Amino acid sequence: MKTVTDRFLEYVKHHTTSDESVKTCPSTKQQSLFASFLAEECKQIGLDNITVDDNGYVYAFLPSNTDKDVQNIGFIAHMDTSPDASGEHVSPQITRNYDGKDIVLRSVSISPEEFPDLAKYKGETIITSDGITLLGADDKAGIAEILTAMEYLIQHPEIEHGKVSICFTPDEEIGRGADLFNIATFGADFAYTVDGGAVGELEYENFNAARANITVQGKSVHPGQAKNTMINAGLIAAEIISAFPTDETPSTTEGYDGFFHLCYCNSNIGSANLAYLIRDFDKQSFENRKAFIENLIAEKNKKYHNRIYLTIYDEYQNMINQIQDKPHIIELAKSSMVECGITPIIQPIRGGTDGARLSFKGLPCPNLFTGGHNFHGPYEYIPVSSMEKAVKLIVTICKNVVNLKI
């Protein structure tokens, strides 16, 4: 058997950054190549009915080895890495017997002073990138953990389990991972995404999410003859930005706090474009945030004679509305964690997952930890022991679903 570390070190070297500007699925050829690689890996360990569909989704199945009537469980991870940092030429670095001090890489240092969780792993083996790229634990750790758990179950037929469905999805990082997911092909009664952070994380609440795009049409003339003629779109954009509450941004909020996030701003005299992310756990507060922006733009349009254009569209919803009446799914994960000696950490996702959208499509799908930290940048790291715990948890969940009471 390959270890989860062996798999992970191999997977992160595949360049699979997704590209939001490309509308095909998958958005990059490299994801298709990785999908074919993973399909072959599934074949080698002995999974059944392996397919890579036309959109790059990898499906594979572990047959049931019990005569009992057992629910079909599923595990999902995504193949792409975030465009927020380079995912090309990833060179994983291994720090053995971590001494509790800074991990010095080529261009950055990962310090326990800046990232206090790092100090918890003194004496352990920690994997990072070389500091130039991201590492890719989000979510190649999830893929490695799922496949290592499946191989373990195949190699240990004495462990009774039902049918297990797995899927590796493209383009999750650009919000499209669930777009073309075939729930009928997957066939599970419920599933877990393996796409979380630190050991113990179990998440079944996420933001309600929307995006607001604002376009300002200015009037550009020579500044020497601009009196009563020029309309500076950049200044109007600045006025709009300054109207948002300064204490409701990502950097000033935590827990169940919602926020407005200015994620794009480009302006000149003639035009300006702003993009805001709107996030809130509470549905009514979420609607109030959208109304705030609509009212703000209506007010500015009165002042500037309808030169501002607004579009708002919803991205995903809080999955708790689809999970809360199915407590057995959460209890299975919690009790399995306890059996593995892991303390469950129930917390909301300050973001979204494929699982949120899949839950609304009819596949209840909470999120499990991978063990990684500081995703989407060169400060990313993952302890080997955390990946091993994730493998053990997946195996235990598959074992315990045989006796699941619904």
315 part of the active site: no
Query: Using only C-alpha atoms, what is the Rg of the chain?
Result: 23
- Among residues 145, 171, 172, 354, the one annotated as catalytic is 172
At how many degrees (to 10) do helices 137-155 and 4-11 cross? 140
Token pair recorded at residue 381: 């790291």
- Among residues 80, 139, 195, 380, the one annotated as catalytic is 80
Token pair recorded at residue 16: 């699979």
Burial label, 263 (beta-carbon count in 10 A; 0-12, 13-18, 19+): exposed
β-strands 164-169, 73-78 pairing: parallel
What is the CB-side half-sphere exposure of residue 279 using CA atoms within 13 A?
24
Structural contact between residues 276 and 263, judged by C-beta atoms closer than 8 angstroms: yes
Token pair recorded at residue 116: 């206090």
280 part of the active site: no
Structural contact between residues 180 and 55, judged by C-beta atoms closer than 8 angstroms: yes
What is the CB-side half-sphere exposure of residue 158 using CA atoms within 13 A?
1
The label of the residue with tokens 């899927």 reads 167
Helix (H, G, I), strand (E, B) or coil at 78: strand
Question: What residues form DSSP beta bridges with 202?
Answer: 346, 368
CA distance linking residue 171 with residue 95, whole number of Å: 30
Query: What are the angstrom distances between the C-alpha of 306 and each of 297, 301, 309?
Result: 9, 4, 8
Burial label, 16 (beta-carbon count in 10 A; 0-12, 13-18, 19+): buried
Q: Catalytic site residues?
A: 80, 172
